[in-house]
Copies of this chain bind each other. A is one copy, B any other.
Amino acid sequence: MSMLKIGVAGLGTVGMGLLKLAFGQGPLASVVQVVGVSARTLGRVRDVDITHLTWFDDPVELAKSPNIDVFVELIGGADGSAKDAVEAALMAGKHVVTANKALLAAHGAHLATLAAKHGSEIRYEAAVAGGIPVIKALREGLAANYITSVSGVLNGTCNFILTEMDESGRSFAEVLAEAQRLGYAEADPSLDVSGADAGHKLSILSAIAFGGPPDFSSLRLEGIEAIEPIDLESAKFLGRRVKLLAKAARVGSFIVQSVRPTLLGQDHPIARVNGALNAVVIDADPVGRLSLVGAGAGAGPTASAVAGDLIDLSHQDTRPVFSGPGQANSRFLPNQQGSAISKFYVRLRVADRAGTIAKITDTLAKHLVSIESFLQKPPEDAARVPIVLTTQPMAEGDLFKAMAELSRLEIMVEPPILMPLED
């Protein structure tokens, strides 16, 4: 075991959490020596004394510094100084530890090539599901397995919002505003609520599980903006919960990747993972189903993951960046709306008028949509009657056709909302 000299770029809560571990009494302190730091502003009051460390205004200079062995990138963002600094570090033959999912999702292939060329390593346990050591579990613990699917709740902000909406009956907008006040959501929440952040993380898991590099562009993405309290309530009535499920699975010779709100059966291991928690479920042969639940973000959990990577590097256990149970480069199925086969949940709002139900059921029957459950709720006001129904397993494309025809009926007050079911 050798003492690693590290440079840390980005001193937000995660960076400060890492420095606390590095200057503390625990195992990290005995394997790393922090020699340089970089952050946007020197002036912030910080609760760890960093006056004895060499300060770099430019993270790229820190990354290239001959005094460091490992560059820890906690800047964030797919491009800009995070990317410049990571590239500089790799080209200088340094190892990189990063929590940056956007960077890996966008430039994983390029960075892996660069790392291989210069004999460097990139470690990124903190980039997916924060404190849950899922990268390690997949790459090493399940190294002998054939992975059939990886799914999870990978964005704590969305899970917090859905949980709060579910428990309080409040709208998406109200709960989002609260989450922003509490610091659980960014001022610009679009990266989270659109599903993109979960998608970045899924593309990394998927690369390891099935054979990399990450292919974010193939991913089907749906956010939680359209979810209403009525959907959560109806799900509960159906014995289910709505989660923003990120899922990558083998379908034939392809890997299908999607992030979308999904009604999970109540016995699904993720169904009761509430609040800001993250969860990952891996289905694999021969291990079966494995579920991991823990804190997906925050200073402590993320610093724990970064520190674990640094301790691994100090053991000189090196592996190719996206090596894992996946054996060859996988073919990721490009995002194709309509290709899923599943039971579906449908929410309609229709005019409160005689013959409305018959028109709907006739249209569905015409398109061979087989109904599993059908619930007409009391009118919300004079003009709007909510209807929620679930279908038998069917091709989503066929359901789209039925919905298109329904949407042309004048009784429809708003476009239908669709979600798949999963057990």
- Residues of A that sit less than 8 Å from B by CB: 17, 21, 26-28, 125, 131-133, 136-137, 140-146, 267, 269, 272, 284-295, 298-301, 303-305, 307-308, 310-312, 315, 317, 319, 325, 327
Residue A289 contacts which of B125, B294, B308 (CB distance < 8 angstroms)? B294
Q: Is B290 a contact of A292 with CB atoms below 8 Å?
A: yes
Asked whether A144 lies within 8 Å of B311 as measured between CB atoms, the reply is yes
A286 touches B325 (CB 8 A): no
In the bound complex, how far is the Cα of B255 from the Cα of A359, in angstroms? 68
- In the complex, what residues of B have CB within 8 A of residue A299's CB? 286
**A141 vs B130: C-alpha distance in the bound complex, in angstroms?**
11
A-B contacts, 8 of them at CB < 8 A, read: A21-B286, A26-B146, A131-B287, A133-B290, A137-B141, A141-B305, A144-B310, A267-B272
Once the chains are docked, how many angstroms separate the CA of A130 from the CA of B236?
Answer: 34
Q: Do B303 and A286 have beta carbons less than 8 Å apart? A: yes
Least distance between A264 CB and chain B CB atoms (Å): 13
Q: Taking A142-B308, A312-B140 as contacts, is the C-beta distance between A325 and B290 under 8 angstroms?
A: no
Q: Which chain B positions have C-beta within 8 A of A325?
A: 26-27
Q: A26-B146, A291-B293 are in contact. Are A140 and B286 (CB under 8 A)?
A: no
* Pair B17/A308 contact, Cβ less than 8 Å: no
Decide yes or no: A131 and B315 within 8 Å by CB, A125-B141, A142-B304 being known contacts: no
Distance A33 CA – B48 CA, assembled complex (angstroms): 51
Among B28, B141, B289, point to the contact of A144 (Cβ < 8 A). B28
Dominant secondary structure at the A interface? mixed
Q: How many copies does the complex hold?
A: 2
Q: Are B143 and A17 in contact (CB under 8 A)?
A: no
Looking at the complex, which one of B272, B291, B300 makes contact with A287 (CB distance below 8 Å)?
B300
Q: How far is the CB of A174 from chain B (nearest CB, A)?
A: 25
Given the known A-B contacts A133-B142, A137-B137, A294-B289, are A319 and B315 also in contact in the complex, defined by CB atoms under 8 Å?
A: yes
Give the contacting residue for A293; candidates B26, B141, B290; CB below 8 A: B290
Contacts A131-B287, A293-B269 known; A141 to B308 CB distance under 8 Å?
A: yes
Chain B: which residue is nearest A301 at the CB level?
Answer: B287
Q: Which of B144, B269, B287, B303 contacts A27 (CB 8 A)?
A: B144
Q: Point out which of A288, A295, A301, A307 has the most chain B C-beta atoms below 10 A from its C-beta.
A: A288
Output the nearest chain B residue to A317 by Cβ-Cβ distance: B317
Quick one: given A290-B294, A292-B291, A301-B286, are A308 and B143 in contact (CB under 8 Å)?
yes
| Most B Cβ at <10 Å: residue of A146, A287, A289, A293 | A287
